[in-house]
Amino acid sequence: MPKKKLSDIVFQRVSPPDGKMDLTVEDLADVLVRRLGIKRKESRAKHSKLLLEMIRYKKESIPLSIEKISKILEVSQSQTYEELRKWRTLGFIEFVKIPAGEGFVKGYMLTSNTANRLLDRAESAAKSFFRKTRRIAKDFDDLLMLEMARLQKDEKPSPKQEPSEENMEMENNDMIRED
């Protein structure tokens, strides 16, 4: 499994078009893809079409080859890998080998049967990311406070280290009295 780069997650506030009386499955698929930030900004790939096709193939338990995915996205095969990176980061798809007859069928499949289950995966990944970030932030705060406390302690001179003017006057007065 590739190392997850959760920095790839970019949520966008995209809503279904209000002007349309009847929303189609394609419209809602486009909104989901754009809200989850699956599609790269500069890409012309058809991710909403891929989402619909992958859900259909998932129900039949048929993995999609990279060639088939590149035809659906309408991009080159080399660009297809880059387009799928966010899908893999969010845990939406996985590479599988399914036994078929004498060999295996290799390809990518969705990890869930429905868009809601896919969204649960994205939510879980985001929560995990924030939990880990919260632990890092707590360690950061603890170390920062400790460092600040040490600096304040070092700034306050102790009477034995550096005598202040008052201490020096008191010592001088004590010496004068002894004479």
Contact between residue 83 and residue 40 where contact means Cβ atoms under 8 Å apart: yes
Both 103 and 163 in one domain: the answer is no
Both 81 and 143 in one domain: the answer is no
Domain that holds residue 86: 6-125
Both 92 and 150 in one domain: the answer is no
Both 103 and 53 in one domain: the answer is yes
Exposure string for 106-117, b = 16+ CB within 10 A, e = fewer: ebbbbbbeebee
3-state DSSP of 33-60:
HHHHCCCCCCCCCCHHHHHHHHHHHHHC
CATH code (residue 31): 1.10.10
Both 42 and 119 in one domain: the answer is yes
User: Which pLDDT score is estimated for 3?
Assistant: 55
Structure tokens given for 69? 């995915």
How many domains does the structure of the chain reveal?
2
For residue 45, tell me if it sits in a domain. Answer: yes
User: Which pLDDT score is estimated for 10?
Assistant: 61
**Gap between the Cα atoms of 159 and 88, Å rounded:** 63
User: Which pLDDT score is estimated for 11?
Assistant: 65
User: Which pLDDT score is estimated for 121?
Assistant: 85
End-of-domain residue from the set 82, 107, 125? 125
User: Which pLDDT score is estimated for 49?
Assistant: 93
Question: What torsion, rounded to 10 degrees, do the Cα atoms 150, 152, 158, 161 define?
Answer: 70
Both 108 and 138 in one domain: the answer is no
Q: Is the dihedral of CA 66, 92, 52, 26 positive or negative?
A: negative
Both 90 and 113 in one domain: the answer is yes
For residue 88, tell me if it sits in a domain. Answer: yes
User: Which pLDDT score is estimated for 147?
Assistant: 92
> What's at 79, amino acid-wise?
Q
Nearest alpha carbon to residue 36 among 7, 4, 9: 9
List per-residue pLDDT tens for the chain, 179 residues long: 445 555 555 666 777 777 777 888 888 888 888 888 787 667 788 999 999 999 999 999 899 999 999 999 999 998 999 889 888 888 889 999 988 888 888 999 999 999 899 889 888 888 888 899 999 999 999 999 999 999 988 887 655 555 555 555 655 555 555 54
User: Which pLDDT score is estimated for 83?
Assistant: 87
User: Which pLDDT score is estimated for 1?
Assistant: 46
pTM above threshold 0.75: no
DSSP state of 154: H
For residue 120, tell me if it sits in a domain. Answer: yes
End-of-domain residue from the set 103, 125, 147? 125
